[in-house]
Structure 1
Amino acid sequence: MSVRILALVGSLRAGSHNRQLAEAAVKLAPAGADVALYEGLAEIPFYNEDIDVEGAVPAAAARLREAAAGADALLLFTPEYNGTMPAVLKNAIDWLSRPYGAGAISGKPVVVIGTAFGQYGGVWAHDEARKSVGIAGGKVIEDIKLSIPGSVTRFAETHPADDDEVAAQLTEVITRLHGLAGEPAAA
């Protein structure tokens, strides 16, 4: 049985290093792990309870919920914008948190990683995303972390998949998440 891991990228930029990192995760996923890169976060409207009505949920938000519901785990990739996560990722988490107490990520293992230009690799954004996902009902895996600093220079001419150190670290992250997502639920 393959473990399905849904990857969400908090950057919409075409040349995003976090998107490249997510592409590397798809490529480097070990046997038995299927990492699917979600497309379409830009189309999801800002969360608003007035439009989150059963039978009338915006199609883009419904697709995100369906993708998350069908996944065994989530892997979030986020840069750091002004000391926190980008709005597009926070918005996705907000949609996935509803309905309250029974959202699409409720109880699912979630790991947050990423890269940023700064010397700490986006740790503030990663911490904020973990906090938000935990409140939204996801089972945040706190001890699996990867924050890669200096993205603009480190990945200027090298794709993350071709950086041996990053590839090894990313493979370890996915392998550990795969193991946790494949564990049977506690009775």
Structure 2
Amino acid sequence: MSDRPVLLGISGSLRKASHCTAILKNIVDAAESRATLEIFPLDAVPLYNQDLDNESPPESVTALRQAIERAAGLVIVTPEYNYGMSGVLKNALDWASRPYGKSKLKGKAVLTLSASPAFTGGVRAQAQLNETLLSNAALLVLRPQIVIGMVHEKIRDGRVVDQETARFISEGLNDLLRDIASKATVADQEA
């Protein structure tokens, strides 16, 4: 059994050649020796409907909630659509945060990133994402925001080719793993 933490990656883009998903795949490689990063696809998660949020929610919702619960931490990458996070990501977070009082996001360490072809890198979407996560008592990694502007110039053939961007992403991963280790140490001391 490995002592490497399991991280869950969530991309806010469903596009086949998504820059957000490419960033997550690069983090999978970067984390290889220190953590396992599993990417959860949001394609099958239905639109939130409280009528369906009962003892038997849709299978994809149960899978999402279980994946979040099992993970030591999350890595979420959002594109910016109309100055905000994508609807598919907001929808997934709505499912993860319910039913009221049973949010799977509560106490979960989360590293957020945003990417956009605009020079601003999706900073407004990331602010919205962070606000949603904070409202659910997620533990955001406190560090400079990772916003990847002009992302279409920094990813080629699914690989992050801009070394400064790759370094900044790696530092963010280091900070997430540090927060997870600190949280585990505190839990061990309290036990």
TM-score, normalised via structure 2 length: 0.90
Partner residue in 1 for 2:171: 172
- RMSD over aligned Cα atoms: 1.6
Closer, same or farther: CA 159–45 of 1 in aligned 2, 3 Å: closer
Match of 2:26, SS state, is helix
CA distance in 2, matches of 1:160, 1:115: 14
Amino acid at match of 2:168: Q
Amino acid at match of 1:47: Y
How far does the alpha carbon of each residue in 1:129-167 deviate from its partner, in whole angstroms, 9 at most, with x for none? 000111123112242521011122333x46443332222
Closer, same or farther: CA 144–34 of 1 in aligned 2, 3 Å: farther
Number of residue pairs the alignment of both structures matches: 184
Runs of 4 or more off by more than 6 Å in structure 1?
A: none
Give runs of aligned pairs for residues 30-109 of structure 1, distance below 5 A: 31-39=33-41, 41-54=42-55, 56-109=56-109
Are the equivalent residues in 2 in contact too, given 1:96–1:104 (CA < 8 A)?
yes
Segments of 5+ residues of structure 2 without an aligned counterpart are none
Residue 93 of structure 1, CA deviation = 0.5
Are the equivalent residues in 1 in contact too, given 2:154–2:160 (CA < 8 A)?
no
Greater alpha carbon shift after TM alignment, 141-150 vs 79-88 = 141-150
Are the equivalent residues in 2 in contact too, given 1:3–1:33 (CA < 8 A)?
yes
TM-score, normalised via structure 1 length: 0.91
Greater alpha carbon shift after TM alignment, 141-150 vs 74-83 = 141-150
Segments of 5+ residues of structure 1 without an aligned counterpart are none
Are the equivalent residues in 2 in contact too, given 1:97–1:137 (CA < 8 A)?
no
CA distance in 1, matches of 2:14, 2:28: 18
Greater alpha carbon shift after TM alignment, 11-20 vs 162-171 = 162-171
How far does the alpha carbon of each residue in 1:97-142 deviate from its partner, in whole angstroms, 9 at most, with x for none? 0122221121111121021011110000000000011112311224
Closer, same or farther: CA 118–161 of 1 in aligned 2, 3 Å: closer
Per chain length, whose mean CA-contact separation is higher, i.e. which structure has more relative contact order (CA < 8 Å, sep 6+)? 1
Match of 2:22, SS state, is helix
Match of 1:111, SS state, is strand
CA distance in 2, matches of 1:59, 1:173: 32
